[in-house]
Amino acid sequence: MNTTQKSYRFCVEQDAPIATLEAVLAIVRRLGLELRSLRTTLHPQGMDVQIRLAAEDEEPLTLCRMRLNNVVGILAVREMPSLVASPERMAASR
């Protein structure tokens, strides 16, 4: 199965970071996306979140980003560049 992956990064305000993160995971679940990784870092302004998602098509991932931008408590969602694997590395992983 060929999947499309996207990585997003955003900051959650310090008012209710756990509740906001729960809302993020609910969006991911409702869209049927595969959660590949989730990394959080606390800082005085709130919580920095890096999330990597996968789906069979790019459309649900784009919809996810649009919905994340509408969640109260989430600052601008940015798409992180994806790493391109070299042909040698791809051959070695098979």
List the CATH number of the domain containing 42: 3.30.70.260
Q: What average pLDDT does the chain have? A: 89
Range of the domain at 22: 4-93
pLDDT value at residue 81:
87
pLDDT value at residue 85:
53
Does the structure show a pLDDT above 90 at 83? Answer: no
31's CB contacts (< 8 A; 6+ apart) are 55, 60, 63, 64, 67
What total of structural domains would you count in the chain?
1
91 pLDDT band, cuts 50/70/90, is low
- The pTM (predicted TM-score) of the whole model is 0.82
